[in-house]
Amino acid sequence: MIEIISSVFLIVGAFFSLTGAVGIFKFPDFFTRVHAASVTDSISTILIIFGLILRTDFDLVAVKLLFILIFMLLTSPTASHALAKSARHGGLLTLAETRSDKKVGDD
Amino acid sequence: MSFIVDHYNYWIVVLLMMMGFYVVIAANNLVKKIVGLNIFQTSVFMMYISIGKVNGGSAPIAAEGITTYSNPLPHVLILTAIVVGVATTAVGLALVVRIKRAYGTVEENEFEDKEDLI
Amino acid sequence: MFAQHLPVLPIILPLMAAPLCILLGRSHLAWLLATLVSALSFVISVDVLLTTLEQGVLSYAIGGWQPPWGIEIRIDTASAMILSAVTGISTLVLVYAKESIAKEVDPSQHTLFYTAHLLCLTGLSGILSTGDAFNLFVFLEISSLATYTLVSLGSDKRCLTAAFRYLVMGTIGATFILIGVGMLYMKTGTLNMIDLADRIAEFNGNRTLKTGLAFILVGVSIKLALFPLHMWLPPAYTHAPSAVSAFLASTATKVAVYVMVRFIFTIYGAEFVFHTMSMDILLLALAIVAIFKCSFMATVQSNVKTVLAYSSVAQIGYMILGISLVSSVGLMAGLLHIFNHALMKGALFMAVGAVLLRTGSVDIKAFQGLGKQMPLTMAAFTIAGLSIIGVPLTAGFVSKWYLVTAALEQQQWVIAMLVLLGSLLAIIYIGRILEAAYFKEPSELTAGKDIKEAPMLMLVPMWVLVIANIYFGIDTSLTLSAADTAAQLLTQSMTEIEAAQ
Amino acid sequence: MLVLSATCIAILSVMALALARALKADTVYDRILGVNMFGTKTALFIALMGFLSGRPDFLDIAIVYALINFLGMIAVLRFFEYTAGDENQEQEK
Amino acid sequence: MAEIIDLVLLGMLAITAFNIIFIKDLFTVVMLFGIYSFLSALIFVNLDAVDVAFTEAAVGAGISTVLMLGTLALTGRKEKASSHKTILPLLVVCVTGAALIYGTLDMPLFGDPDNPAHQHVAPRYIEDSPQEIGIPNMVTSVLASYRAFDTLGETAVVFAAAIGVLSLLGLPKRDRATIQSGLKSHLVLRVVAKMIIPLIVLFALYVQFHGDYGPGGGFQAGVIAAAALILYALVFGLPMATHVVPPRVLKALAALGVLIYAGTGVVSLFLSANFLDYSVLAEDPVAGQHIGIIAIELGVGITVFAAMLCIFYAFAGQTERKNIQ
């Protein structure tokens, strides 16, 4: 029974990370790509690590997995936030702003 | 076919060595030379580790229920070699910083006209 | 109680003294500690040399584990002889360095200089005494890293590019040795040198072993600056502080020659290397080209330190020539030249350092008229220069003499002639400097300043080396017997070849 | 076992895509994004490989991966903030 | 399954290396080098070399990348076109490559259990070391006991690197704590860093003392502890970090670590056993081995931590100075 639940978790986690990977190619501008990458990162980490925890018999390995989960939940959103802020600080424009400039340019 | 399967690890490692070696010789920028040096050394480490691998063996940490282990000796040698590699990189990068401060440039072709390289 | 622990002491004493120098902080204390430790290592290595002359090989298992499993310190006569030379010269250079680096290295870095010097000494004595192929690579890296630091301490900005070029080529050389040792381990499964020798003897001409040997020899040739791979040496020795040039010129490349001898004769066995791989022709050709091209380059240089650097590369050519003659007499001549050249080159670089201290320049014009102004220094330079040329009554003559006899013994008239011709070139580049010193008036470079004699702390080590030069030129009993037993030891497997010839 | 290897292959392909993003990127920030995603996915991949090869006590390496990936990101951003000052000067010059 | 993963990883590695050759923007080259180290560490995990993967990830991807970025901050990002022609390097590379391929023809088969490499010396390390030295991690037992002299040499190499960088770049002064030069504007980063850094230091201590039972040991612990403080210096600024760990203390710590290691060896000398022979450190030889290994791992951890942090301070000190002018 637990086996099936963990398999479901794993599959769904893998699916989300695949969508994230496709997202960083398909999305129009940088900020949506960062959004796609970091959101799917977090969700797939949670799902896969829970899937793995179910497979262990809840000993030291499970604690290590939880430690990884906490660590990654703390660091990867922060890293993506810092990246986006630095990109913004570095003068990167969002899609809306580039379109509005073009419109202003056209009129 | 089995000849290739048994040796593909070595051939790819040789390919990586040659890429690293090429970057070291052909790179004009000193920082890129050091990156090339690192790639060259890391691929040599991979050659050592693929010597130690045993098919079906597991990591050389004794655990019950596991009989065949991979050979621990190459791992010890490579632990030493990695730290030696980083030590050389650190000194090399420190030299690059000093060269930039002394010469104002880190491009190798711009040294020649600045002083007579014997 | 310490008798059986002697072989390991020359390595761990400098190793422990280096961090102590950092903890001591002040450069005078660091200098005192470094000189004492170096002198103690010299005494121990001379004692070890004497015991090896009687007992043959000393073996010491580190950590109590027997050799093929643990690492073994294995000292035979050849390594003990060169170890005594290295520790002796290191002591003299440390005494010399106190005054010499005062002007060339800024005071805040003197403690770091002594620490790096001790680490370099640790690396060199480690290479000379270890019996394990990978351990040799680790100690090679210690000595190389310490050498890059020492070279980059120079005052001239070009020492930085010289140190960087030396670092890149040195690391490529060390990685080639790593690849070679990896191939050896892959085929034999062991790293201990003696074990390797027995197991390699079973394979007759295996392709991986041949490639392994080729990579090790190329790596070691970079380290000992054999002819085509010597480009890093002249700028490094020219722009390094003179105390560093004195130490490196007389020890670093010589230890690399010892590594080549160890790999060719002990691990692979001479007949595999020289007959199946016909390496002797290649080494011979490179040695001869090295002698002539570098001697010629030495004659055209204006900077005296570059002249000496090129002369070092040429002298290494002589050593490789001795080794590639594939006979125990040839190998003995090579080992002898390692020892003698260390004495000669150390004295020459010290003299040039003294001139740099007093006149502020090492250009040949600065040497004009120094014969009268700095008599003792120039006298030392003259005797050491004559020893490079190979004038009788000096150590240089002894090693040249045995090189020629080794060549003649194999009816190689051409090589014997080439060795003598090489000495002629040496006469030219040494003669140019002597002529400037004694027969020319002081040039505009040194006209204004009144040039005093070099300080006592620099003259004493210089003259100790010069006297040793002359002593070993006349009474060759100690060096000859050591070199002879070493050559016999290394070339046991060679005897069948001579019989076959 | 099958599910584990399937997830492994999925994560491997995500890493390949992230690597492709890092190699072929128009702005530098996309490259950093690719490297960041690559780092986090490798940490997950090691956890999965630990379970696949039956030695789950190797999760320390996954922690180190996550840590080093975060350190790399902060170093890159610090580098950007530092050189941003120079680029503005270069643009103004 | 493992072979497929191995093949795919090696393929990705080759593509990354190929790109590194042709990219001119040095910043991207350093980023790709970070990925290269990560991938090679991943391959080491796949080839059962767990300790090596640990060190390669921590040292290769962590410290080297941070140092290279520090250098690039001073030397500029663009690599100028190299004028000299590339035929000679290509020729040299092809000759070496051909020699290497010639060498691989006789190499024993990859992964074959009865390779000569596994016959002669290795069986004793695998079978006897858990009994003789009493710790499950064979790599640590070989590293710390059978071949302890190698590791002593390696600690000396790390010490020599710290000395080299110190003599070239010098250490930053400790007094200028007033300048807020960290990532000022990233408030989120500062809060998260405050939470994470204690975790990392705790993890470093775990790795240090867990080295006998799982992957880990002195080197890895030293590097992770240094990474924690480098993170602190990056987020809160170098002056603040030099207040937490003053540079003079680091120089003393680096020297101390080497002395601890060599001192353990000398102690066994005084107990009339060979250098670095731990079995005399306690009545029961196996207990002696335990004490010896813990002592030298501590020595190694201290030296590596102090050396790596010293090197980072020297590099960061350069950028601070340039920043201020």
- Per residue in C222-269, pLDDT (tens digit) is 999 888 888 899 999 999 999 999 999 999 999 999 999 989 888 887
pLDDT given for residue E83 in this prediction: 63
Which residues make Cβ contacts (< 8 Å) with residue D89, sequence separation at least 6?
none
Tell me which chain D residues have a C-beta less than 8 angstroms from the C-beta of A41. Answer: 37, 40
Q: How confident is the model at residue D91 (pLDDT cuts 50, 70, 90)?
A: very low
Q: How confident is the model at residue A107 (pLDDT cuts 50, 70, 90)?
A: very low
Please check the confidence at residue C45 and state whether its pLDDT lies above 70. Answer: yes
Measuring CA to CA, how many Å separate A46 from each of A17, A39, D12, E59? 11, 11, 18, 28
pLDDT given for residue E164 in this prediction: 94
Looking at the 3D structure of chain C, how many domains does it have?
A: 1
Please check the confidence at residue E225 and state whether its pLDDT lies above 90. Answer: yes
Burial of D12 (0-12, 13-18, 19+ CB in 10 A): buried
Please check the confidence at residue E241 and state whether its pLDDT lies above 60. Answer: yes
User: For residue E184, which phi and psi values (nearest 5 degrees)?
Assistant: -60, -50
Q: Is A78–E188 a contact, with Cβ atoms under 8 angstroms apart?
A: yes
Please check the confidence at residue B13 and state whether its pLDDT lies above 70. Answer: yes
SS3 (DSSP) at E75: helix
CA distance D58 to chain B (A): 10
Six-digit token pair at E44? 């080491």
pLDDT given for residue C369 in this prediction: 80
Six-digit token pair at C198? 């027995």
pLDDT given for residue C476 in this prediction: 82
pLDDT given for residue D84 in this prediction: 63
Measuring CA to CA, how many Å separate E258 from each of C22, C458, E8, E129? 11, 32, 41, 26
Interface test with A, best of E184, E189, E190 (most A CBs within 10 A): E189
Q: What percent of chain B has pLDDT over 90?
A: 47
Q: Is the sign of the CA dihedral A26, A31, A32, A37 positive or negative?
A: positive
Ordered DSSP codes for C55-94? H--EEEEGGG--TTTS-EEEE-HHHHHHHHHHHHHHHHHH
Q: What percent of chain D has pLDDT over 90?
A: 35
Mean pLDDT confidence for E193-204: 91
Measuring CA to CA, how many Å separate E108 from each of B5, D70, E102? 12, 40, 13
pLDDT given for residue B114 in this prediction: 46
- Residues C66-88 have pLDDT tens digits of 888 888 998 988 899 999 999 99
Q: How confident is the model at residue E257 (pLDDT cuts 50, 70, 90)?
A: very high
Six-digit token pair at C157? 């900005």
In angstroms, rounded to a whole number, what is the distance separating the alpha carbons of residues A68 and A56?
15
pLDDT given for residue C145 in this prediction: 95
Tell me which chain B residues have a C-beta less than 8 angstroms from the C-beta of D54. Answer: 58
Domain that holds residue B54: 2-112
Residues paired with residue E170 on neighbouring β-strands, in sequence order: none
In angstroms, rounded to a whole number, what is the distance separating the alpha carbons of residues E27 and E36?
14
Out of E102, E108, E273, the one facing C64 most closely (by C-beta) is: E273
SS3 (DSSP) at B58: strand
Residues paired with residue B107 on neighbouring β-strands, in sequence order: B29
Does residue C442 sit within a domain?
Answer: yes
- Residues C278-294 have pLDDT tens digits of 778 888 899 999 988 89
Mean pLDDT confidence for C346-354: 91
Q: Is B117–C145 a contact, with Cβ atoms under 8 angstroms apart?
A: no
Out of C20, C70, C108, the one facing E147 most closely (by C-beta) is: C70
Six-digit token pair at C491? 């070339």
Residues in chain B: 118
Instruction: Answer whether A76 touches D (CB < 8 Å).
Output: yes
Does residue B81 sit within a domain?
Answer: yes
Q: Running DSSP on this structure, what letter comes out for residue B64?
A: T
In angstroms, rounded to a whole number, what is the distance separating the alpha carbons of residues C429 and C292?
12
Instruction: Answer whether C214 touches E (CB < 8 Å).
Output: yes
- Residues C127-138 have pLDDT tens digits of 999 999 999 999
Which residues make Cβ contacts (< 8 Å) with residue D23, sequence separation at least 6?
D34, E15, E16, E19, E32
- Residues C435-449 have pLDDT tens digits of 888 888 877 766 667
Ordered DSSP codes for E205-270? HHHHHTTTTSS--HHHHHHHHHHHHHHHHHHH-HHHHHHHS-HHHHHHHHHHHHHHHHHHHHHHHH
CA distance E142 to chain C (A): 9
Out of A33, A52, A79, the one facing D70 most closely (by C-beta) is: A79
CA distance B57 to chain D (A): 10
Please check the confidence at residue D86 and state whether its pLDDT lies above 70. Answer: no
Average the pLDDT over each of C214-223, C306-315, C317-326 and give the range with the smallest value: C317-326
Six-digit token pair at C59? 């073996």
In angstroms, rounded to a whole number, what is the distance separating the alpha carbons of residues E136 and B62?
5
Q: What percent of chain E has pLDDT over 70?
A: 93
Measuring CA to CA, how many Å separate C207 from each of C146, C211, E11, E105? 35, 6, 27, 7
Six-digit token pair at D27? 């702005």
Mean pLDDT confidence for E255-270: 92
Listed in sequence order, the DSSP H helices in E76-211 are 87-104, 122-127, 129-132, 138-141, 148-169, 187-209
Does residue E110 sit within a domain?
Answer: no
* Closest chain A residue to the Cα of D52, Cα to Cα: A52
Does residue C192 sit within a domain?
Answer: no
pLDDT given for residue C346 in this prediction: 92
Measuring CA to CA, how many Å separate E295 from each of C471, D76, E289? 49, 37, 10
* Touching status, chains B and A (3+ beta-carbon pairs under 8 Å): no
Q: What percent of chain C has pLDDT over 90?
A: 37
Does residue C456 sit within a domain?
Answer: yes
Tell me which chain E residues have a C-beta less than 8 angstroms from the C-beta of C127. Answer: none
Tell me which chain D residues have a C-beta less than 8 angstroms from the C-beta of A80. Answer: 36
Does residue C45 sit within a domain?
Answer: no
Measuring CA to CA, how many Å separate D45 from each of D9, E49, E108? 9, 16, 30
Interface test with A, best of D2, D35, D37, D55 (most A CBs within 10 A): D37
Which residues make Cβ contacts (< 8 Å) with residue E292, sequence separation at least 6?
E144, E145, E264, E268, E276, E278, E281
Q: Is E276–C215 a contact, with Cβ atoms under 8 angstroms apart?
A: no
Looking at the 3D structure of chain E, how many domains does it have?
A: 1
pLDDT given for residue C409 in this prediction: 85
CA distance A12 to chain E (A): 22
Out of E185, E192, E199, the one facing A78 most closely (by C-beta) is: E192
Domain that holds residue E229: 137-325
Is-contact A51 D6, C-beta < 8 A? no
Is-contact C98 C31, C-beta < 8 A? yes
Instruction: Answer whether C439 touches E (CB < 8 Å).
Output: no
Tell me which chain B residues have a C-beta less than 8 angstroms from the C-beta of E219. Answer: 79, 83
Burial of D41 (0-12, 13-18, 19+ CB in 10 A): buried
Q: Is E192–A89 a contact, with Cβ atoms under 8 angstroms apart?
A: no
Instruction: Answer whether A71 touches E (CB < 8 Å).
Output: yes
Task: Give the number of C-alpha atoms closer than 13 A to the C-alpha of residue C58, restricted to the C-beta side.
Answer: 26
In angstroms, rounded to a whole number, what is the distance separating the alpha carbons of residues E48 and C102?
53
* Whether the predicted model's global pTM rises above the 0.90 cut: yes
Q: What percent of chain C has pLDDT over 70?
A: 96
Instruction: Answer whether C29 touches E (CB < 8 Å).
Output: no
Q: Which residue has the tokens 């016909």?
A: C278
Q: Is D51–A52 a contact, with Cβ atoms under 8 angstroms apart?
A: yes
Q: Name the residue ranges covered by the structural domains of chain A.
A: 2-106
Instruction: Answer whether C197 touches E (CB < 8 Å).
Output: no
Tell me which chain E residues have a C-beta less than 8 angstroms from the C-beta of A75. Answer: 192, 196
Is-contact D63 D42, C-beta < 8 A? no
- Residues C173-217 have pLDDT tens digits of 999 999 999 998 988 888 888 888 888 888 877 888 888 889 999
Which residues make Cβ contacts (< 8 Å) with residue D53, sequence separation at least 6?
B58, E2
Domain that holds residue C476: 278-501
pLDDT given for residue B46 in this prediction: 92
Please check the confidence at residue B104 and state whether its pLDDT lies above 50. Answer: yes
Which residues make Cβ contacts (< 8 Å) with residue C310, sequence separation at least 6?
C234, C294, C295, C297, C298, C301, C429
Q: Which residue has the tokens 């056209």?
A: A106
Please check the confidence at residue C493 and state whether its pLDDT lies above 60. Answer: no
Tell me which chain D residues have a C-beta less than 8 angstroms from the C-beta of B56. Answer: none
Q: How confident is the model at residue E182 (pLDDT cuts 50, 70, 90)?
A: low
Looking at the 3D structure of chain B, how many domains does it have?
A: 1
Residue B91 belongs to domain with CATH number = 1.10.287.3510
User: For residue E178, which phi and psi values (nearest 5 degrees)?
Assistant: -75, -35
Please check the confidence at residue C374 and state whether its pLDDT lies above 60. Answer: yes
Q: How confident is the model at residue A45 (pLDDT cuts 50, 70, 90)?
A: very high
pLDDT given for residue E176 in this prediction: 56
The per-residue pLDDT of chain C, averaged, comes to 87
In one-letter notation, the amino acid at residue A85 is K
Q: Which residues of E158-195 are buried (b: 16+ CB within 10 A; e: fewer)?
A: bbbbbbbbbbbbbbbeeeeeeeebbbeebeebeebbee
CA distance E283 to chain D (A): 33
In one-letter notation, the amino acid at residue C67 is P
Q: Considering only residues E116 and B23, tell me which one the structure prediction assigns the higher pLDDT.
A: B23
Mean pLDDT confidence for A54-80: 88
Q: Considering only residues E182 and C113, tell me which one the structure prediction assigns the higher pLDDT.
A: C113
pLDDT given for residue C27 in this prediction: 87
Interface test with C, best of B88, B96, B106, B109 (most C CBs within 10 A): B88
Q: Is A37–D37 a contact, with Cβ atoms under 8 angstroms apart?
A: yes
Q: How confident is the model at residue D89 (pLDDT cuts 50, 70, 90)?
A: very low
Burial of E324 (0-12, 13-18, 19+ CB in 10 A): exposed
pLDDT given for residue E321 in this prediction: 57
CA distance E297 to chain B (A): 14
pLDDT given for residue A104 in this prediction: 59
Please check the confidence at residue C1 and state whether its pLDDT lies above 70. Answer: no
Residues in chain C: 501
- Residues B44-102 have pLDDT tens digits of 999 999 888 888 878 888 887 778 888 889 999 999 999 999 999 999 999 999 999 88
